[in-house]
């Protein structure tokens, strides 16, 4: 791991603050199709970079910081009993299938204290490409979700830098999506700042459609040798491109103007710009198929909508396909409209269609399936409250992701520090990245540091 050294590792369990009343914990949580689809892939890994906290006289000792974060984490976990548990399985002998559920047994989350005293905040912030050592700032690397029968479902790593610290968190994707991940991160920071009760209590009851038999039966064998096969991932490079609010506004205006509409959103405009730019830089034959995978949130699409605070996955992926020639010849507006039409078609009926068809024929994502070429996959969201995570020593200066689920064409979206801006983390082959960085049409939208 080079510059990063592990100082200590332990398990942190949920310990209630004796001065307050914690909602009664539940012992078992069933899993939905939205949860189970991620069993065979990796976890969610996101982390925040902070300057070192200071009191009136000097830096706060790292030992005090670690103790405080560990204690506040323990209290926060009382509101999220599923994070300290493990997956459990049941073999269904009648049809030779397996079922999963979350056992809220409070075994604990992994907590790592590490240091990297040769690294600074600027070594992360000022690097053109994301340094490879960033991947070592996260716990539970190379963990796939189904392995959390024995491994922790959640992990935290606090890494001390020469002038700052990094809090990296890893969560099993079968527990919840990005909305849930940042719900917990924000809640932990509230308890750290002195809150006795978090501002948004998680809703732990999972959503199941009417007349659905639970638990869901999966035609899966955990001792299958195929599950342990290692997939060869090509050498990749990552870079974060900053799109200002003004640049995004220009893209949106251009996309709508090109096709004479006013329905293209900012999100659809900059995704179309990115999709066309990466495709152009891949130098594909005009007839080759290209695609973009977009996350479809289901919280507001259900009838009635899911409760605020629903803690579980509530999303699925939809793909827009075309050819390289058609995508590049028809312009930004046309590409954005293809995304727009797909998103607009995701009604309550479509959500339920996906849900019911999945139960009848479960489709699990695999590491191999995401490595198919000529496609980009969108993850995370610029809507998450990332820069509101304040543990009592100030807001973060940057957000980064870990190595989990990284492949050629993986795009991770974050809000920028400035309101209305977006940071787009692009993970692609080195030769494609070099072409992208030299692509004038793409780079004229990117805001670079002075």
Residue that the structure tokens 């299958």 belong to: 224
Q: Using CA atoms, how far apart are residues 330 and 90, in angstroms rounded to an integer? A: 52
The encoded tokens of residue 399 equal 């957000």
Report which of 150, 236, 172 is spatially closest to residue 40, judged by C-alpha positions: 172
User: What is the DSSP code (8-state) at residue 309?
Assistant: T
Locate the DSSP E strands across 93-246: 97-103, 109-116, 154-161, 164-171, 237-243
The DSSP bridge pattern shows strands 410-415 and 375-380 to be parallel
Q: Catalytic amino acids?
A: 173, 390
Q: Using CA atoms, how far apart are residues 342 and 338, in angstroms rounded to an integer? A: 6
Q: What is the dihedral of CA 242, 246, 250, 252, to 10 degrees?
A: 80
**Distant-in-sequence contacts of 428-434, Cβ < 8 A, 24+ apart:** 428/236, 428/237, 428/278, 429/234, 429/235, 429/236, 429/237, 430/235, 430/236, 430/237, 432/278, 432/281, 432/282, 432/408, 433/129, 433/237, 433/239
| Sheet containing strand 44-51, strands side by side | 5-12, 109-116, 154-161, 164-171, 44-51, 398-401
Give the sign of the dihedral formed by CA 133, CA 135, CA 140, CA 144.
Answer: negative
The encoded tokens of residue 379 equal 């993850």
Locate the DSSP E strands across 279-395: 289-297, 315-323, 375-380
Q: Using CA atoms, how far apart are residues 324 and 93, in angstroms rounded to an integer? A: 48
| CB contact at 8 A, 337 and 370 | no
Give the sign of the dihedral formed by CA 367, CA 108, CA 169, CA 174.
Answer: positive
Q: Using CA atoms, how far apart are residues 150 and 86, in angstroms rounded to an integer? A: 7
Q: How far is CA 445 from CA 158, 246, 248, in A?
A: 35, 9, 8
């Amino acid at each position: 791991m080079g510059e990063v050294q592990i100082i200590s590792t332990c398990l942190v369990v949920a310990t209630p603050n004796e001065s307050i009343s914690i909602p009664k914990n539940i012992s078992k949580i069933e899993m939905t199709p939205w949860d189970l689809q991620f069993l065979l892939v990796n976890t969610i890994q996101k982390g925040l970079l902070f300057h070192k906290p200071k009191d009136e006289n000097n830096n706060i000792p790292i030992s005090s910081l670690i103790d405080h974060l560990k204690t506040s984490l323990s209290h926060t976990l009382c509101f999220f009993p599923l994070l300290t548990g493990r997956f459990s399985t049941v073999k269904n002998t009648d049809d030779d299938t397996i079922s999963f559920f979350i056992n809220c047994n409070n075994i604990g989350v992994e907590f790592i204290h590490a240091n990297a005293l040769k690294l600074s905040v600027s070594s992360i912030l000022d690097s053109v490409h994301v340094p490879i050592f960033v991947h070592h700032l996260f716990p539970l690397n190379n963990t796939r979700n189904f392995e959390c029968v024995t491994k922790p479902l959640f992990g935290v790593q606090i890494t001390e830098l020469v002038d700052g610290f990094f809090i990296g968190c890893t969560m099993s994707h079968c527990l919840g999506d990005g909305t849930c991940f940042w719900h917990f991160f924000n809640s932990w920071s509230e308890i750290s700042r002195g809150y006795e009760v978090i501002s948004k209590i998680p809703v732990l009851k999972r959503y199941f459609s009417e007349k659905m038999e639970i638990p869901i039966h999966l035609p899966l064998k955990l001792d299958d040798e195929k599950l342990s096969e290692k997939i060869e991932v090509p050498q990749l490079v990552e870079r974060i491109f900053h799109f200002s609010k003004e640049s995004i506004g220009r893209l949106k205006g251009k996309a709508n103007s090109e096709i004479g509409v006013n329905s293209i959103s900012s999100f659809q405009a900059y995704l179309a710009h990115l999709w066309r730019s990466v495709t152009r830089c891949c130098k594909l034959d005009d007839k080759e198929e290209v695609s973009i995978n977009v996350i479809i949130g289901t919280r507001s699409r259900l009838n009635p909508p899911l409760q605020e605070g629903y803690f579980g996955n509530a999303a699925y992926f939809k793909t827009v396909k075309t050819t390289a020639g058609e995508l590049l010849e028809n312009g930004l507006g046309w590409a954005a409209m293809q995304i727009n039409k797909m998103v607009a078609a995701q009604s309550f009926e479509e959500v339920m269609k996906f849900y019911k068809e999945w139960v009848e024929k479960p489709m699990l994502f695999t590491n191999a399936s995401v490595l198919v070429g000529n496609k980009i996959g969108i993850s995370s969201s610029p809507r998450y409250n990332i820069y509101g995570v304040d543990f009592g020593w100030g807001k973060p200066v940057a957000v980064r992701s870990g190595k989990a689920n990284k492949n050629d064409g993986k795009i991770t979206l974050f809000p920028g520090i400035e309101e209305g801006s977006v940071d787009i983390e692009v993970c692609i082959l080195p030769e494609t990245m070099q072409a992208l960085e030299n692509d004038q049409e793409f780079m004229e939208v990117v805001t670079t540091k002075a």
